[in-house]
Structure 1
Amino acid sequence: MLYWWSKFVLLGPLMRLFCRPTIEGLDNVPDRGGAILASNHLAVADSFFLPLLVPRRITFLAKREYFTQPGIVGFLKKQFFTGVGQVPVDRSGGSAARAAMDTATRLLREGKLLGIYPEGTRSPDGKLYKGKTGVARMALEAAVPVIPVAMVGTDRVNPIGSRMWRPRKIRIRIGEPIDFSRYEGMAGDRFIERSMTDEIMYDLMELSGQTYVDLYATSVKEKAAKKPDPRIPDSRAS
């Protein structure tokens, strides 16, 4: 009920009015059964527009902190994230990655449609970065297809650091499902999982038209964060 309310009553009409989103390849999404929607990640808005235009409910894994904030604001956040199909996972501690993987695999085996961003974080500059192999591990463990999805224009609607969305045209392109059944029983083989992930990222590059960078986006962000701000004088020079 919350999902329907958020999608069709609260946010949906405004999002359609201001951004005129369109979608191609919707017939590539199965009507039932577990599957992974593997998308590029340009903006926070990606997690709003993809569920809006895909009729099936999409489940995303989200930080548990989104659901545990106290007070009325915390309650409203919990209701909102639940309403748009988010499932809380604990990302703290050494076993967090395995716990998130187990949650995703369980949901897929239950027949859910799971939304995943293989890059692991938003692109810092609009380019497509190297995918993390977790998506391949999930696909093998749950024995489900991976469907590549390209978000186009969400970074203009919701630039990094912006507080307000801007009215811009958004397009979503869904590619043909990738069947990895040929690798059945090979979960945990890092070479196989790397090959699978690279195949997914190649399809995303073709669909999105983005320039591919063979580096992890998280590494690029960390390196950029360490660079000194040229506007701040270097005290060592004095």
Structure 2
Amino acid sequence: MANHRSSVDPFFIHLAAKRRVRWFVAREFFGNMLFGWFLHETGAIPTRRGGIDNVSVREAMRLLHEGKWVGVLPEGRINTSDQFMMPVRPGAALLARKADVPILPVYIQGAPFNGTVTGPFFMRANVVITVGELIYPNEFASDKAMIVAAVKAIAQLAGHPDYEPTLAGKNWKPIPEELAQDKHRREG
């Protein structure tokens, strides 16, 4: 589980992990012929924005039960704000608890972003990845407590020990401006 500032974040984490990490990616990105092919080849898991996508959750659970790694970016989109992290969704905690696997907090710094999804693949980068300690589901009474602990661990790795995570609402949906930004990024 990691913070998310660039479309290339998962690929740098994949390189640092030295093993395949399957990431949740918004379903609409699979519609672009070249980028969709790339996502398919990397084993990305298509998911819909907002709420719980049972199909993608079942796929992630299958992979986790097979001992494979599944990456989650709990902000749900690239963070272009001034906040350290945007409000997070509890999906990583739900998966960890149901599959009885730990969450690995990861802080990624320096991945390029130019306002488009594909542009960062062609930009120079000086990326630093910092990995935290495993967070085990049985140590928490709820998914909320687990996701808050995981985000605080990421903040600690980033040098923000006083950061207080915000949780996205239960019925979180992207607002029209966010959907328009996403569309612009895909087309840009």
* Alignment TM-score > 0.5, same fold: yes
Give the match's secondary structure for 2:5: coil
The CA distance in 2 between the partners of 1:198 and 1:133, in whole Å, is 9
Please point out which of 100, 111, 115 is paired with 1:160.
115
Whose radius of gyration is greater, 1 or 2? 1
Decide which of 100, 125, 128 is 2:81's aligned counterpart: 125
Contact 1:133–1:197 under 8 Å retained in 2:
yes
Matches of 1:135 and 1:193, distance apart in 2: 9
Q: Is the 8 A contact 1:128 1:212 kept in 2?
A: no
Alignment of 1:78-93 (within 5 A): 78-89=36-47, 91=48
Structure 1: unaligned runs, 5 residues or longer: 1-37, 184-190, 226-238
Q: How far apart in 2 are the matches of 1:223 and 1:209?
A: 33
% identity of equivalent residues: 27
Q: Which runs of 4+ in 1 moved over 6 A?
A: none
Separation (CA, whole Å) in 1 of partners of 2:139 and 2:168: 29
Q: Do residues 174 (structure 1) and 122 (structure 2) align?
A: no
One of 96, 99, 104 as aligned partner of 2:55: 99
Aligned-residue CA RMSD (Å): 3.1
Q: In the comparison of the two structures, how many residue pairs are matched?
A: 171
Q: Is the 8 A contact 1:128 1:213 kept in 2?
A: no
In structure 2, the CA distance between the partners of 1:168 and 1:178, relative to structure 1 (3 Å rule), is same
Which ranges in structure 2 are unaligned for 5 or more consecutive residues?
179-188
Distance 1:49 1:92, change over 3 A: closer
Asked if 2 retains the 8 angstrom alpha-carbon contact of 1:148 and 1:174, the reply is yes
Is the 8 Å Cα contact of residues 45 and 59 (structure 2) preserved in structure 1? no
Q: CA deviation at 1:133?
A: 1.2
| TM-score between both structures, scaled by the size of structure 2 | 0.75
Q: TM-score, normalised by structure 1?
A: 0.61
Q: 2:26 is matched with which residue?
A: 63
| Deviation of 1:92 (Å) | 7.5
What aligned pairs does 1:1-238 form with structure 2 within 5 A after superposition?
A: 38-68=1-31, 74=33, 76-89=34-47, 91=48, 97-126=53-82, 127-154=84-111, 157-161=112-116, 164-165=119-120, 166-183=123-140, 192-209=142-159, 212=163, 214-215=165-166, 222=175
CA distance 1:212–1:111, change in 2 (3 Å): same
